[in-house]
Amino acid sequence: MLYSAQFNEVSVSAEQDLFELVAPSDAVVVVHQIVLSQRSDVGDAQEEGLNILLRRGATTSGSGGSSATPASLQAGSSLAGSTVEVNNTTKAQDGTIATLHAEAWNVRSPFIWLPPPELRIYLSPGQRLTVELDTVPNDAIVANGVIYFEELGG
């Protein structure tokens, strides 16, 4: 099944895990797409580049954010087994953390991570993926984000 989880209109002023996705214990998760955008810094003088890291392998969850309930993209399907947290200001840590993708996000345009199928990220049962903002913005931005993922098995 395919799901999305998102946050809207969040003031972001510190490094954080924008998303923390944990696969259920009985399914593999495939991450299909991640989109980040902001609406507050729109002029040339406010333009900035922020580091975005996609990381897998943390064993301790972050904190300081909130839970996001994944929504099924197919009407009438079952609830997601995965858990999603958003905007954790204390990042996930410990374990063997691997950075799978690093990119600079110019805030004037959306950050869109949409890899071809052979480059999608797979999470083993119980494994964690974080989408980290690894730069402190010059000033707070009002951000939105969505992550699309699929659960296989379960």
State the Cα–Cα distance between residues 148 and 99, nearest whole angstrom.
19
Q: How many domains does the chain have?
A: 1
pLDDT at 44 over 60: no
The one-character DSSP state at 108 is T
Amino acid at 17: D
Place of tokens 């730069």: 135
Side chain identity, residue 43: G
Residue 46 has pLDDT above 70, yes or no: no
Model pLDDT for residues 48-80, shown as the tens digit of each residue: 899 999 999 999 999 999 999 999 999 887 899
| pLDDT at site 106 | 92
Amino acid at 80: A
Q: pTM to 2 decimals?
A: 0.94
- Owning domain of residue 103: 2-153
Q: Average pLDDT, stretch 130-136?
A: 96
Tally DSSP H helices, then E strands, for the chain. Answer: 0, 12
Q: Identify the pLDDT of residue 43.
A: 63
